[in-house]
Structure formats: structure tokens, C-alpha cells
Structure 1
């Protein structure tokens, strides 16, 4: 299936390249896979992580950009991926609260694609505590600033999401949005994080 997807992607790029000035690439949901310090974990990291992350990032080489969707990290033991360790802060999706995920995904994409420019196409947090949303997003943006200082070409950052959304099988429970909405009146209410993020965007800097 992955081979067919790659062939389709490459053919699409050929067609789209006929439009002057159009940039093409694909985006990868990076997981920040990491091996625990146990025998067999490093081997399992390669077996489990390569076909899910690295294979796609490597094949972005030669594209105009590569996108990164990043939210958390995943530890791999000799038996495979492990649940979040007890005592760590988690989000409404059950993922570890891990702001460095965006920068780690960007670094991985940059290195494995042989220095294709990187766009963060998704990054955010499902939480009912808007202060934690601000803390998470600030941490993600600080990490991206560091990646840029390292010489990585970061094209931009897109926060997920503007509105609280319908999140696949989880329905409306995981609230990712900068804007809340009433499920009866559909009234939209920007959260404090929306105002904070707006100030960051207007200043083009972390303030």
C-alpha cells in the first residue's frame, strides 16, 4: 500500500509541476519514536518505527517541502510501543503532554529528507485547561525557534485547530480548538489561547 501511495504521489507531482510556481510535497504524522534502555528495544524501534515515520520522510527527498504533524512522543520497548508512563501529564486523547514533539518531528523530517524545507502542518493539544494549551503551544514554538537557529528551514506553523472539532472515533470529547462552540446555538467563543496566539502571530514573535 505504501509503495502504491508513493507512486501516486510521485505521479501527482509530475502533473502538478506543469503549473508554474506550484510547490508540492506530502505530510507525515511523526510520532517521535524512542527506544527504552532494554535489550531488543533498539531493534524493535527500527522494525516498528521505520515503516511508520522514516520511510515516508526519506521519500520526501526532492520534494519542494515536507509536512510534519506532531503531537507527542512514543516509547518503544522490545515488545513494541508502550503506554504513557504513570504519573505523566496526559491530554484528552490520552497522549503524553510533550511540547518538544513539533521540533523533534521537524528535525527528523529535515535530516531524513536530505534537507527538504519543513512545514508544521499540524500541532496542538486536546485539553479542557486552556492555560495548558498556551503552555503547550509556547513550548512547541520555542522548540521551532531553536530548530531554525540550528539552520533548519522551517516554512511555517499551523495550529490544530481553530475550532473544537469532531475527532474521529473520539467524537467531540477531545477539544483541540482555540475557539469553542455551543452545540445548540453554534455560537463561537474564542478562548484565551486564541487571543494569546493572535498576539504571537501579530508580533511574529513569542511575547
Structure 2
């Protein structure tokens, strides 16, 4: 193997991820749609038609397969499947079954997320995740979607970034500098753990399904003397949720940047630091720290990078960022950590919880016509996926 080339194992999951609300469009029965259209909303713009992926999912799946990826992570929209409490839409279930079938026909492994931030309006009106019966309602939703998962879905993420969900909807779309996260509600955190475990119990009825949840890892880096401050700050925001995944089939790591902790807590990026369209520090090694923290705190649960990427209008920086991130992933694997895959965020330029401006996608989407155009980064990463080899180019770092 050439010195400037990294090799990944056969069977490694190479893919890209999306979520329903951010791509499907017209998710009118969800709490987020209501929030976007509420008087005085803080969202910059509504999701609207988003990427019209509810109708164009076949094109998205075919593009990913043609580019060279082998995995597609997408979410099932609870607000479509159970638009009113107790009513399950057979048509919505059939829609998502068709998505699973389309993945298989294209040669993609479907990875399904059950909850990606949005909930039905009726669930939100009852108190959302603060309601005492929320875990039972989520378990019932899991039961409702078993026919979708039984069609050959091997990987299931129960709850996306519960450490963000526990902050509450009022926090979820704030572009805080460098991922300075508000403190999660400890009661909601416990409720989400219970919901996750009840969902996994339901999923265990399906042979061959591997389930876990995905955590927003934040690469806390204490300055000398601030180690205890970093632990106090970081435990309820990340470590608690990673420890709760002990015994799961896998743990999803979702990493974008680092958080430097000083004597007064998290610090903003330095003035000279390169920043993304989200205002976050450009820091590709973050995913490596996330992988290591997840591996250590779960006691050796298999890791999948279920999200990693960069909001940028300069696609050459996306290639450079991803090269650095994959180098960190490979280093973790070389050190003996069981990493099963890497899924880029995002497959498409989509709705980033309040605005279409932060472009994370490998594939550009025309806001008027919905035409899809793969970027240079998509072709590059697809070739890495097909070959299982990453060539290190110093000029891209």
C-alpha cells in the first residue's frame, strides 16, 4: 500500500444521510411545520417543499448508487405515519416500504432513523418528551413501522441526537457559536433513554435488525487546568447519552467541530480560525475524538459515523475536510476501534432547521426546479467508497 494511501475494509458502510423533514417537503402535521409558520417565529424561512424528496426519493437513491456509495440513511416521518394519535397511515407505511425496496434494487443498504427531531403535532401538544407516557407512545410508533423494517432493514437508529432533543424545541435551530449547547433537561434525558430502550425491545422482534442511537459528539478539549470544568460541562451534554448505549448493537457518532473549554466554560473559535457557514470552527479531527469517546464510554460498542460534514459554499473545502475526517476515522480503526462505516452529512443541500443557507450537501438542489447536481465532492467521495482507498493529498488539508 502506498504511504499516501489509506485502505478501508471490505464491507465498510459508505454512504450519505438525510432526514425526512429536511428533504421531503410539506411535512404539515409536524411540530416543526407549526413552528415555522407560527406568528413571530424565529426561523428565517419555512421548510416548504424542501427538496421534494417525498416524490423524488428514487432519483436521490439512484444518484447515490451511481456515485459509488453502498448505504443510504434516511428517516421515517412520525407525523406522516401517525398524523393523529392512534391513526396509522397505511399509505405512509407503503411509501417508506417503497423507499426500502428502492435502496435494495439500487444496491444500497438502507439505514433507517425512527426519530429525527420532528414529532407529530398531537404528540407535541401533549407535552412532547416531557409527557410521562412519551416512551410508550414511541414504542407504539416503533411497532407501527415494523412492516417497513421487516423488508430487509438491518440498521435502525432509534433517536437522532437525543442530547440535542433534550434541550427542547426552542433551542434546536439556534446557530450558537461552535456548538455551545444549552444544558439538556435531565428529566427529558432520562425519558429519552427509556424511550430508546423500549423501542429497542420492540425492534428485537425482528431477526437480524441491529439498533442503536446517534449522539452529537462535541470534541470537548479542556485547556490546561480546566479538565474538571470540561467534565462538568460535557457529561450531561454527551457522556450521559453515550453511557446509556452500553449493550446496544452499535453507537452512531455525529461530529462536526470541537469545543474548547476554558476556565469560564466553552470558548468561541479564535478570530483567525476558519469557520463554516454555521459559524463553527473548521476542525476535521473532531470525528476521531467522537469515535474514541463513544468507544470508551460504551465499553466497546461498534461505532458507525452516522453524520459528518461541513457547511460550505467552497466544495474544495468539503473535500479537504472529509479527507481529514476520514484520516481520523482510519487512525481510530488502526488503534483497534470497531468502526463499521462512514455516512456523510448530507446527501443533499437541504433545510437546516430554519434556513437553506448552510449547504452541507454532496449534491446541489436547485431551489426552484429541484434539479439535482452532484458536486465534485460527491464524485470524489463516491470513488473513495467504490475503491475503499483514500489517497492523501497534502494540498487538500
The alignment's TM-score, normalised by the length of structure 1, stands at 0.95
Structure 2's unaligned 5+ residue stretches are 1-187, 392-397
C-alpha distance in 2, partners of 1:22/1:187? Answer: 34
Q: After superposition, what is the alpha-carbon deviation per residue over 1:17-62, rounded to whole angstroms, capped at 9, x for unaligned?
A: 1211111111100000111224xx2222111100011111111111
Mapped to 2, the partners of 1:154 and 1:175 lie a distance apart of 27
Q: 31, 36, 46: which one pairs with 2:218?
A: 31
Could you say what secondary structure the match of 1:20 adopts? coil
Q: 1:183 Cα shift?
A: 1.4
Match of 1:80 in 2: 265
- Counterparts in 2 of 1:1-207, with a 5 A limit? 1-38=188-225, 41-169=226-354, 171-207=355-391
Specify the SS of the correspondent of 1:98: coil
Higher relative contact order (CA 8 A, sep 6+): 2
- Retained in 2: the 8 A contact 1:124–1:159? yes
How many pairs are equivalent? 204
Q: TM-score, normalised by structure 2?
A: 0.50
Gaps of 5+ in 1: none
How far apart, CA to CA, are the structure 2 residues paired with 1:127 and 1:148? 28
- Which structure has the larger Rg over C-alpha atoms? 2
| CA-to-aligned-CA distance 1:54-103 (integer Å, 9 cap, x gap) | 11111111111000100000011222211111101111101111111111
Partner Cα distance (1:19, 1:109) in 2: 26
* Cα RMSD for the two superposed structures: 1.0
Aligned partners of 1:88 and 1:26: how far apart in 2? 32
CA distance in 2, matches of 1:4, 1:162: 31
> What is the distance in 2 between the residues matched to 1:110 and 1:126?
27
